């Protein structure tokens, strides 16, 4: 039967979720291999139930049917079937479930025992209390949006500078943004917010999770909130708390308008996505969506104890990426955000978990293969956090991917702390980590370089604190990374000592300079250019307050100007961002990088093995321009005199505000713990 001959009342098993029709109904399709019935329940604005419709058809493990629905309809699912936790079966029709394919969600979870499929004191016993009064609702949305002439900036990786930030935190305290929209998608789209980003010169805004997420019950009980958002429950829905336009679909339109405004300013939008787990937790967690729809198809269960969850995320569960249903949900979500929401890339939280079809990491996993061959995802940026709680996979992703390079963070911090023997590793990092990527014929662009990120100290705190100060998290400061490799520069916390503050200023510039003058893709932690402090809290995941928000009134304007100057240098000079690993002994007319001792001689094996050496000269030559750059780095506690090549040099930038360069100098004194970049003239 052709589609033209099919009766207008017929439903279809695809696409999953809700698809509106012109006749006032919607096609609803829900995947479950183990359910016996799936019922769609609609509600009015007060929360009262309007209508229940059992989906009458079942095709290929998909329940489907036509349901009276229009734009704005609030709804949920009730799924009946076997309750047998020992076999991984957790169906409970008393639980109202979110549609995994919902494009908007209104309300929030209220932490009553009714939202749990089991009784707290008897995990194997089914809890038949109705959860509807305590559950948010899925919402039918209007997909129409006037994108106009919107186009992705499609910034080449070689020109990309990533700025990791938070939708709320960026504008929550911004006096230049209208108070009514601070902390929202509209706030980030405000001309004043966009001007701050474009003036800095970054190319790509990477947003901490904006998929709909759940506020943790224990945090709410303690007066805190999940600020970072790594607790997803809706992979197609923008988080409703970041909307100034309401949460019954307005969040979708407002998110699209934000993307459109950022694109118009030449800025890309990259989403930090959390597909490795959901907010439903382990066997003691709530039943909010997938757990009650088809637990075993969507979550990895322990084979010989299917009441338990295989967990490589540290959150209680891991998505079952070896199953077609879970894979389809992830892939459908990715395609939706690209095609309908116009985002430009993704950073995958704990991406190693997504490569575990069984227990081992697998660079040829179904997830990676599906992403690699998908034409919709071909033009977008893909960035992996290449580890999870069970494994470290830096350098282990396919050529299509870039990776957060944790080695860069650690080795650059060690160098500027003055750690003995740090020089060889620093040379690898500033040249794009060829020791990690070159053997797989991957370019420098495989490495996303960073010194700080949302998880850890801010740059200001890295130079002010030797110890974490996480008391306000309520965990007796046991949370957060202990070996943080920070260096407090002579005092713990703020001080009025001018020498200590001058050293801290240099160190901040050293870190930013190393980040932005190294080969690879630099990622700046948003607010580092302002010298934003969290008071020494290196795990501010639960601090949805002034600890985490950007205080624009306290911005370090000089550091902002320094960061802007670095980004401008990088943008204007291809020689400072080589794509491939080339060294001075390479033949032909090509980019080269050469490492030299302070006396101008080439670095030899003895020099690399000299654990006490803390200075290095890096010579950049580019086939794309005549300019040569000489980068002088000194992490020692005393000045170092560098012998310069026979060129005419001018000062490009330095972390030492007093650095001066004479006319065609033969040598240059670089003060303690500072760098200077020279440019040929």
Assigned token pair, 546: 């002034």
Q: Which residues does 202 contact at the CB level (< 8 Å), separation at least 6?
A: 161, 162, 163, 267, 524, 567
| Cα(9)–Cα(27) distance, integer angstroms | 10
Q: Which residues does 244 contact at the CB level (< 8 Å), separation at least 6?
A: 180, 181, 184, 185, 186, 187, 250, 254
To 10 degrees, the CA torsion angle through 205, 211, 216, 217?
140
Phi, then psi, of 200 in degrees rounded to 5: -65, -35
Number of C-alpha atoms within 13 angstroms, CB side, residue 247? Answer: 17
Name the catalytic one among 294, 349, 411, 438: 349
Alpha-carbon dihedral sign for residues 57, 60, 61, 66:
negative
Provide the b/e sequence for 429-460 (b: ≥16 CB within 10 Å): bbbbbbbbbbeeebbbbbbbbbbbbbebbbbb
| Cα(511)–Cα(413) distance, integer angstroms | 8
Name the catalytic one among 247, 385, 461, 656: 385
Q: State in Å, rounded, how far the first CA of the chain is from the last one.
A: 75
* 676 DSSP β-pair partners: 632, 654
| Cα(306)–Cα(296) distance, integer angstroms | 8
Closest by Cα among 522, 562, 560 to 677: 562
| Cα(221)–Cα(537) distance, integer angstroms | 21
| Cα(212)–Cα(170) distance, integer angstroms | 19
Contact 426, 616 (CB under 8 A): yes
| Residue 385 designated active-site | yes
Assigned token pair, 440: 């797989």
Contact 104, 79 (CB under 8 A): no
| Cα(638)–Cα(643) distance, integer angstroms | 16
Greatest CA span in the chain, whole angstroms? 86
Assigned token pair, 416: 């500027």
Burial of 173 (0-12, 13-18, 19+ CB in 10 A): middle
Closest by Cα among 381, 450, 461 to 412: 450
Question: How crowded is residue 485: how many other Cβ atoms within 10 Å of its Cβ?
Answer: 16
* Residues identified as active-site: 349, 385
């Amino acid at each position: 039967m052709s589609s033209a001959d099919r009766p207008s009342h017929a439903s279809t098993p695809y696409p999953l979720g809700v698809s509106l029709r012109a006749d006032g109904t919607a096609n609803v399709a829900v995947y479950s291999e183990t359910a016996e019935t799936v019922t769609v329940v609609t509600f009015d604005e007060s929360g009262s139930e309007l209508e229940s419709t059992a989906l009458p058809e079942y095709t290929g493990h998909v329940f489907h049917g036509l349901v009276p629905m229009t734009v704005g309809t609030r709804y949920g699912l009730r799924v009946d079937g076997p309750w047998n936790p020992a076999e991984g079966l957790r169906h409970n029709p008393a639980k109202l479930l979110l549609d995994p394919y919902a494009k908007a969600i209104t309300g929030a979870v209220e932490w009553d025992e009714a939202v749990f499929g089991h009784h707290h004191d008897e995990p194997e016993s089914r809890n038949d209390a109705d959860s509807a009064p305590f559950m948010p609702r899925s919402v039918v949305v209007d997909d129409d949006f006037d994108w106009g002439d919107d186009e992705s900036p499609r910034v080449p990786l070689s020109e990309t500078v990533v700025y990791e930030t938070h939708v709320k935190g960026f504008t929550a305290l911004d006096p230049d943004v209208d108070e009514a929209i601070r902390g929202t998608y509209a706030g980030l789209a405000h001309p004043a917010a966009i001007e701050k980003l474009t003036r800095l010169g970054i190319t790509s805004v990477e947003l901490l999770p904006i998929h709909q997420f759940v506020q943790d019950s224990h945090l709410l009980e303690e007066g805190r909130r999940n600020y970072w958002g790594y607790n997803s429950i809706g992979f197609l829905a923008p988080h409703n708390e970041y909307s100034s336009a309401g949460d019954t679909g307005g969040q979708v339109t407002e998110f699209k308008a934000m993307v459109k405004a950022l694109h118009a300013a030449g800025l890309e939008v990259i989403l930090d996505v959390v597909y490795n787990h959901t907010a439903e937790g382990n066997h003691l967690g709530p039943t909010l969506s997938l757990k009650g729809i088809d637990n075993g198809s969507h979550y990895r269960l322990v084979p010989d104890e299917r009441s338990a969850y295989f967990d490589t995320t540290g959150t209680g569960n891991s998505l079952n990426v070896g199953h077609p249903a879970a894979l389809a949900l992830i892939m459908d979500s990715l395609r939706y955000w690209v095609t309908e929401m116009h985002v430009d890339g993704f950073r995958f939280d704990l991406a190693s978990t997504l490569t575990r079809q069984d227990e081992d990491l697998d660079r040829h996993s179904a997830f990676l293969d599906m992403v690699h061959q998908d034409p919709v995802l071909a033009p977008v940026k893909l960035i992996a956090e290449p580890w999870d709680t069970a494994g470290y996979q830096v350098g282990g992703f396919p050529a299509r991917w870039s990776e957060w390079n944790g080695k860069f963070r650690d080795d650059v911090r060690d160098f500027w702390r003055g750690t003995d023997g740090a020089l060889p590793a620093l040379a690898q990092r500033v040249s794009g980590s060829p020791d990690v990527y070159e053997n797989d014929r991957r370019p420098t662009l495989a490495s996303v370089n960073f010194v700080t990120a949302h998880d850890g100290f801010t740059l200001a705190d890295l130079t002010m604190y030797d110890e974490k100060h996480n008391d306000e998290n309520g965990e007796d400061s046991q949370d957060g990374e202990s070996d943080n490799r920070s260096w407090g520069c002579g005092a713990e916390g703020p001080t009025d000592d001018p020498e200590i503050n001058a050293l801290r200023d240099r160190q901040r510039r050293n870190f930013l300079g190393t980040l932005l003058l190294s080969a690879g893709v630099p990622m700046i932690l948003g607010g580092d250019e302002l010298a934003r402090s969290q008071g020494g809290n290196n795990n501010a995941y639960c601090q949805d307050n002034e600890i985490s928000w950007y205080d624009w009134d306290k911005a370090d304007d000089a550091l902002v100007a320094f960061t802007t100057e670095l980004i401008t240098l990088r943008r204007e000079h291809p020689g400072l961002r080589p794509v491939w690993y080339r060294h001075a002994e390479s033949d032909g007319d090509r980019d080269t990088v050469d490492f030299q001792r302070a006396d101008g001689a080439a670095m030899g094996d003895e020099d690399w093995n000299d654990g006490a050496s803390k200075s290095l000269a890096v010579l950049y030559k580019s086939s794309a321009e005549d300019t040569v750059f000489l980068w002088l780095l000194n992490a020692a506690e005393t000045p170092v005199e560098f012998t310069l090549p026979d060129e005419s040099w001018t000062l490009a930038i330095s972390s030492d505000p007093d650095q001066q360069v004479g006319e065609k100098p033969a040598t240059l004194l670089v003060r303690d713990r500072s760098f200077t970049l020279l440019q040929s003239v």
